[in-house]
Structure 1
């Protein structure tokens, strides 16, 4: 039986270019969500930092994730990101869905609360997983 895998992608865009990240995600999200093995594919803005985002992904297997990375829409999207991102994305793989669910709940709570106090996302992720 394949083992599910989660992905946490931390992204920083160049100041004032957040809309380009949101637009690109909106364009590819329906395609990604239709891929075999995709369970979750969500973009969240980091509270207090409009130029920082987190993508949460959950895949039925590492094979499904590997196939996702080779999809034409992902190859094309990856070619566009250097134009507006402030460096490469930081990717963390997790193997327990509870970890993704915990982070997702925390991100959504921050989005709804309107709390804009800055925090260290990497530290936050490390504490949750």
Structure 2
């Protein structure tokens, strides 16, 4: 079963540019992972400190692999001082086309 996620990452004041650079690197590496169907980075149009990642993974196993991948753990460790808020939301589709 596909896993769909929207993650909100809000930068601490003054950290949005370096956080965006780290997020862009994370997106590039994550998109190349087996089982990654979608990994899109977005930014709030009114608050440039807020970023959103929309993810779709083939299943829980590939998501678990992603969460333990060196590029992901490096991202988490290297951005601790930049991130004010991190919220991960798992989505359930109500209607599929």
In structure 2, the residue corresponding to 1:66 is in which secondary structure? helix
RMSD in angstroms over aligned alpha carbons?
Answer: 1.8
Counterpart for residue 71 of structure 1: 69
Counterpart for residue 44 of structure 2: 46
TM-score by length of 2: 0.89
Which stretches in structure 2 are left out of the alignment for 5+ residues?
none
Cα pair distance change 1:98/1:41, threshold 3 Å = farther
The structure that is strand-richer by fraction is: 2
Cα pair distance change 1:97/1:79, threshold 3 Å = farther
Counterpart for residue 26 of structure 1: 24
Q: In the TM superposition, what is the alpha-carbon distance from 1:95 to its structure 2 partner?
A: 3.2
Q: In the TM superposition, what is the alpha-carbon distance from 1:31 to its structure 2 partner?
A: 1.4
Tell which structure's C-alpha radius of gyration is larger.
Answer: 1
Counterpart for residue 95 of structure 1: 92
Which stretches in structure 1 are left out of the alignment for 5+ residues?
100-129
Mapped pair 1:37 → 2:35:
yes
Residues 58 and 97 in structure 1, CA contact (< 8 A), matched pair in contact too: no
| Greater relative CO, 1 or 2 (CA 8 Å, sep 6+) | 2
The structure that is helix-richer by fraction is: 1
Q: In the TM superposition, what is the alpha-carbon distance from 1:96 to its structure 2 partner?
A: 2.6
Cα pair distance change 1:97/1:13, threshold 3 Å = farther
Aligned residues: 96
Partner Cα separation in structure 2 for residue 25 and residue 83 of structure 1: 14
